[in-house]
Amino acid sequence: MSLTIGLVGVGPWGKHVLRDLRALGATVHAVARSAESIARAKDGGAASIVETPELLPRCDGYVIANQTTSHLDAIDVLLPRGTPIFCEKPISSDVERVKRLPREAHDLIFIMHKWRYHPAIIELARIARSEEYGPVKGLRTYRVGWGNPHPDTNSLWILAPHEMSIALTILGELPALVSATPDPTDADGGGVAYMRTSGGVNFTTEFSSGHPLALRRVVLCCRDATCQLDQSDYGLIIVHRPNEKTPQHIRVSDDMPLLAELRAFVEHVRGGPPPMSSLSDEIEIIKTLAQIEALILRQ
């Protein structure tokens, strides 16, 4: 069945969205304004290119991948069309405006949290649920690097949504905020947040754009072993057991999570189940992010 998707935004990330939508067999109509974005849309095989969401043709679904501060403007235009919308994370840093979205938005809007589709994160979630290494004792994540390429928002709103979605996937719930402190190397919203699940499992996450050496790492601590994933090899989980010199290696698929989440959306548009992250999930995430930001800015 032929499928048409409207894509809002063909920036450095949006060009990958366009590529994968085309690979999934969709005809893509793009919104692109700058000369660079128009060139990306042409090179990526967009069927048409317009300047604003209002000018997009009627499509079977829409993907929003422009700047964070412009997501809701595009949603306001496209939501009345009554077709599914897949919006890049975070949907907005304006929590109150998101909460004012009409009821039908909860049936039509889904959020692009790609780490929920990452094979290694899915495997860590399975390990946590199965308790094959004993009950989960805690979760620790790191997402630090150098510079924030997004001029419209700060480090917290770009980096921390990933960590919230990882915690939600592995722990089965979004932990409640306990406290947060700013990162002294990043005055642009970096920090460390301390959270806890309803069952008492601690989650600590560090996010910053002020570290010259990048580190992306997820550490799941269970009673009998600690499982680690980091950017050196996203297809490998290393399991360390107490008193064992040689760690266990769990090899997982290296399939790209962006393609996986877009496939889930395309299948939903064709009548399949919805993607993982609902608008309700996202509201809880951005409410938590706003609380973290308030604590960081207060110190």
**pLDDT tens figures, 123-165:** 999 999 999 999 999 999 999 999 998 888 999 999 999 999 9
pLDDT tens for residues 234-288?
A: 999 999 999 888 999 999 998 899 999 999 999 999 999 999 999 999 999 999 9
For residue 38, the one-letter residue type is I
Q: At residue 1, does pLDDT exceed 80? A: no
Q: At residue 215, does pLDDT exceed 70? A: yes
The model's pTM: 0.96
73 φ/ψ angles, rounded to the nearest 5 degrees: -65, -45
d(CA 71, CA 223): 42
Sheet holding 226-230, edge to edge: 176-182, 191-196, 202-208, 136-146, 210-222, 226-230, 236-240, 248-251
Confidence of residue 79 (pLDDT cuts 50, 70, 90): very high
- Of 3, 2, 4, 28, the C-alpha closest to 17 is 28
Confidence of residue 227 (pLDDT cuts 50, 70, 90): very high
Using alpha carbons, list the distances in angstroms from residue 36 to 16, 21, 42, 45, 213.
Answer: 14, 20, 10, 14, 29
Name all domains of the chain by residue range, CATH numbers in brackets: 3-112+259-277 (3.40.50.720), 116-255 (3.30.360.10)
* Structure token pair of residue 96: 């109150």
| Paired residues of 202 in beta bridges | 138, 196
Using alpha carbons, list the distances in angstroms from residue 3 to 26, 72, 76, 146, 268.
Answer: 5, 24, 23, 39, 12
Contact indicator for 285, 165 with CB cutoff of 8 Å? yes
pLDDT tens for residues 14-32?
A: 999 999 999 999 999 999 9
Q: At residue 2, does pLDDT exceed 90? A: no
249 φ/ψ angles, rounded to the nearest 5 degrees: -110, 125
d(CA 127, CA 165): 17
Q: What is the DSSP letter of 134?
A: B
**Over pLDDT 70: what percentage of the chain?**
100
d(CA 167, CA 174): 6
In this predicted structure, what is the pLDDT of residue 267?
98
In this predicted structure, what is the pLDDT of residue 299?
76
d(CA 81, CA 67): 21
Give the mean model confidence (pLDDT) for residues 64-80. Answer: 97
**Over pLDDT 90: what percentage of the chain?**
94
Kindly report the CA angle at 68 between 93 and 99, in degrees rounded to 5? 40
Question: Which regions of 135-247 does DSSP assign to beta strands (E)?
Answer: 136-146, 176-182, 191-196, 202-208, 210-222, 226-230, 236-240
Q: At residue 110, does pLDDT exceed 90? A: yes
